[in-house]
A and B are shown apart, each in its own frame.
Chain A
Amino acid sequence: AQSVTQLDSQVPVFEEAPVELRCNYSSSVSVYLFWYVQYPNQGLQLLLKYLSGSTLVKSINGFEAEFNKSQTSFHLRKPSVHISDTAEYFCAAHTQHLGGSQGNLIFGKGTKLSVKP
């Protein structure tokens, strides 16, 4: 069965430090990968996605993630974080089942990023 694993439930980091949030997925079929961010008391916002093409994808606010098929990973990185990056980050995978059905997103448990001054 499809699954998404986020090993780190919480990641504390100081402002301007680099950060990596880990995500691994298991799938025997083609997969699309996403990172969503949830700021306190808000909904899920799409941060970035990998559908096809270049394995390195970037967001407008400095995050990037690299699809690594051999390691079945899609880790999220940012070279220098800001206080405003404090949020919960969810990795998700979409598999379109055989027969071309709609499929759905499978989410990881989320990683709470806490950026301290």
Chain B
Amino acid sequence: EPEVTQTPSHQVTQMGQEVILRCVPISNHLYFYWYRQILGQKVEFLVSFYNNEISEKSEIFDDQFSVERPDGSNFTLKIRSTKLEDSAMYFCASSEQGAQTQYFGPGTRLLVL
């Protein structure tokens, strides 16, 4: 069964450093998403992406965040200058259509020191 994959599974970085989280969505899906889950809190929407542009973004998704689909398979989330409060599990998801079921990857656990 096709699945969303994410790399790395864990990332530790120093505050102020840039990180890139990578995702490979399910191959025939056209809609992509990033969510995050701070430890002990709910899963929060960050951004959605379709047709090579951002469809929607939440208040969390400020100027330090960016997303890109650099090729036909990868979907990346870049955090330019990480802060301690960026420590969280970051989930990528994809869906075949915009209002249909989203399938999640296993997540990248980011720890900012």
Contact = CB atoms under 8 A, between A and B. Distances in A.
Interface residues of B, number: 26
A101 B47 CA distance: 13
A26 B55 CA distance: 23
Contact of B43 (A49, A90, A102, A103): A90
A43 B104 contact: yes
Given A43-B91, A102-B48, A110-B42, A36 B56 contact: no
B105 A102 contact: no
Given A43-B107, A46-B104, A92-B43, 11 more contacts: A36-B104, A43-B6, A43-B104, A44-B43, A45-B104, A46-B101, A90-B43, A94-B102, A105-B33, A107-B43, A107-B44
B45 A96 contact: no
A108 to B, nearest CB: 7
B106 A43 contact: yes
Contacts of B91: 43-44
Contacts of A110: 42-43
A94 B45 CA distance: 11
Interface in B1-57: 6, 31, 33, 35, 41-45, 48, 50, 55-56
Interface in B61-113: 91, 93, 98-107
Interface residues of A, number: 26
Interface of A: 32, 34, 36, 42-46, 49, 51, 90, 92, 94, 96-97, 100-110
B42 A34 contact: no
A105 B42 contact: no
A44 B104 contact: yes
A34 B104 CA distance: 13
Contact of A105 (B41, B45, B50, B105): B45
A102 B104 contact: no
A109 B104 contact: no
